[in-house]
Amino acid sequence: MDDASTTAAPTEPKGHVRAALPQFYIPASASLQERRPRTLKYGDVFAVFDHNGDATAAPGSPEGIYYRDTRHLSHYSLAIENARPILLSSTLRDDNATLTCDLTNPDLVGADNRLILEHDLIHIRRSRFLWETACFERVALMNFDDVPRTVKLTLGFAADFADLFEVRGAHRKRRGVKHAADLAPDRVTLGYTGLDDILRQTTFRFDPTPDTLTEDQASFTIELEPRRIQLLFIEIRCDHGPRRPRTQRTTRNFFVALRDARRALRLTSSRAASIGTSNDIFNEAVRRSVADLYMLVTHTPQGPYPYAGIPWFSTYFGRDALITALQTLWLDPSIALGVLRYLALWQAKSFDAAADAEPGKILHEVRQGEMAILGEVPFHHYYGSIDSTPLFVMLAGAYLERTGDLDQIRPIWPNIEAALQWIECEGDRDGDGFVEYGRRNTEGLVNQGWKDSSDSIFHADGTLARGPIALVEVQAYVYGAWRAAAFIARSLGDESRASEMEAKAEKLRELFDQSFFDEEFGTYILALDGDKRPCRVRASNAGHALFTGIAYPERAERVVSTLMSDVSFCGWGIRTLAATEARFNPMSYHNGSVWPHDNGLIAAGFARYGFRREALRIFEGLFAASSYVDLRRLPELFCGFPRQRGRGPTFYPVACEPQAWAATAPLSLLQSCLGLRFDPDLRQVSLDQPAMPDFLDEITMRGISLAGGTIDVRLRRAGTGVVVNALERRGDLRLVTTS
């Protein structure tokens, strides 16, 4: 709460000690769901607007335009005769390329209290998109009155150049210097030099030239003939460093940039297989999933890389990108290759306690803002993730298995070996055979698994676990890494090394079963703490043991039964924490909520062990949830309250939308339920015991790629079974179905 706030503090119980805010806390002083924000992204620029197309940097609001973790536009508003227009509709194109807001005038009253313009006579359409480092907007006004009208249109704007962590609630003792506005007839530049000596600028350009232009407002007097359109163009450009001169008119920039933006998006998304089904609502949901994936993909010299999510995580994350790539490997393998190459490039080569870096370790997060550059937050290049390293090796093996492209894996084999060396040495701090985490830097993350909230790892009585901590899912990923590395080594012709790695995987599997499976509990425990005491907590993490195959087959049924019980499966999906546990809270971030990506991985594990029906229940629950969500877009997470007939899920107030691994969860679920597999050596696409959820009667997938060819496949429900047909082949590919 701000010190200047006049809001009275709530009464607290006698003797209560107020806890400090958790580290890197995202304040929930306002719900993103209240404003149902509209998001755009291109490269390192993303934007968050309200339904009218405005942005208001109120406390708790992430609205604005951001470039490299700095907010370059903190306020943006359109007014007609000093009044806010009435919203008619607000839509994102199915491919997320453009935002269109349709508005109209309210009743406008003069100084003498007489009506001077009746409502709904002036239509205002705002069309907006991002390209390179700029936001382009066209405002079209049309007069539906039968007489000419003259209206005053005003655009207000501001740039606070706040670091993203400031927007998230961090308070800084010192900031840099804001510069006086640089004004010209058709443009204004706002600037800020940070404590890192980097000049950050936002330039606003207008066409036609405003009647008046100040450092925070542009005003236009617009004459509107009946049934005629008048256009206004705005360009908002973000720059770091000296401004680059631009000679093109803003009008031309808009249309050229729009063409280039759509062309680039089509080119990128054309790599993906297309999906069509008999269910129109699911078609909308899957189209949005694919569109969100490619909006979040950023192109690097190493290839495509999916940023994690908007607004809080629009940057490079290791874990998120690795899981996103695993979930979309069947759809578009080039994403996995881009992720592998980028993470290999930035693999840690030395010890750096401030960054939690150790040789061989894979990145957790990269930040480019002022606070990260100055070390005020430790995330400039940060390695505090215990699972990114084994997931990196897993993805490399999965990519090779999916594509057979050994030429792309061979250059990163030294990185894989370095990652395995880290797993055996620094990753296993006490030499007990398990990989544990414990931060090297007091400013780093306390918990370093995917559930990285400060209260997410605890004992049965609710006591927080003391580190170093060995998480159940991390051991599963390490097992998957050894298996993947063995497959790669064998493909490289090193049979001896492959056998050695397989032996290490089996040794870990045996040790894991002894230490993590609890007979009385009926499932795997959450973790081992620093004293090797078991955290006997029923959590969704146990399902990841099925995902990688570390679980012995005889354990699977009990794990599935526990996860699908009423205390864990709420109807929308599996909760992160069972309702019987001490810290359960369905409104928490990690202790009772439902995460789509978590459910996608668990469902893949269910299918791996033959529990296809349970995987279908997860699929149905998440699809049902998406049918209640704006734009059919699955959020990062939602609350874990029980599903009730005729009611949608309860939303989490500050969940990211879109979030890459949430967007790709339905794509992963589709693969799991259909048993979709690839054999590049045999040039074979297979469907192993395909099953379809009740909400689908037909599925058509076109452009599934393998070994230089593509194949189109159609599946139809036939009684209790599924009929599969190959529609068209391009290249010598085979389709095999097992029942």
- C-alpha pair distances (Å), 171 with each of 6, 62, 260: 19, 16, 39
Look up the domain containing 68 and give its range: 36-266
Model confidence at 247, in pLDDT bands (50, 70, 90)?
low
Q: Average of pLDDT values for 613-634?
A: 96
Q: Of 266, 288, 309, which one is at a domain's C-terminal end?
A: 266
- Answer yes or no: is 413 within a domain: no
Q: Of 247, 266, 285, which one is at a domain's C-terminal end?
A: 266
Task: Note the pLDDT tens digit of each residue in 16-35.
Answer: 333 444 555 555 444 454 55
- Answer yes or no: is 279 within a domain: no
Nearest to 361 by CA among 320, 318, 329: 318
Query: What is the sign of the dihedral through the CA atoms of 141, 145, 147 and 150?
Result: negative
- Answer yes or no: is 323 within a domain: no
- Answer yes or no: is 366 within a domain: no
Q: Residues for the chain: how many in total? A: 739
**β partners of residue 125:** 102, 140
Q: Average of pLDDT values for 343-362?
A: 97
pLDDT at 7 over 90: no
- Answer yes or no: is 516 within a domain: no
- Answer yes or no: is 152 within a domain: yes
pLDDT at 14 over 90: no
What is the pLDDT, as a whole number, of residue 59?
A: 77
Model confidence at 249, in pLDDT bands (50, 70, 90)?
low
- The phi and psi torsions of 507 (rounded to 5 degrees) equal -65, -45
pLDDT at 2 over 50: no
Model confidence at 113, in pLDDT bands (50, 70, 90)?
confident
pLDDT at 449 over 60: yes
- C-alpha pair distances (Å), 664 with each of 90, 217, 229, 586, 721: 24, 41, 41, 23, 26
Query: What is the sign of the dihedral through the CA atoms of 312, 314, 320 and 323?
Result: positive
pLDDT at 273 over 60: yes
Strand-strand pairing, 122-131 and 134-143: antiparallel
Model confidence at 667, in pLDDT bands (50, 70, 90)?
very high
Nearest to 287 by CA among 91, 39, 98, 94: 94
- Answer yes or no: is 548 within a domain: no
Q: Of 266, 291, 326, which one is at a domain's C-terminal end?
A: 266
Percent of the chain whose pLDDT exceeds 70: 94
- Answer yes or no: is 69 within a domain: yes
What is the pLDDT, as a whole number, of residue 111?
A: 79
Domains in the chain, number: 2
Task: Answer for the pair 242, 199: CB distance below 8 angstroms, yes or no.
Answer: yes
Mean pLDDT over the full length of the chain: 93
- The phi and psi torsions of 516 (rounded to 5 degrees) equal -110, -25
Nearest to 37 by CA among 14, 60, 62, 15: 62
**What residue type is 409 in one-letter code?**
I
Model confidence at 1, in pLDDT bands (50, 70, 90)?
very low
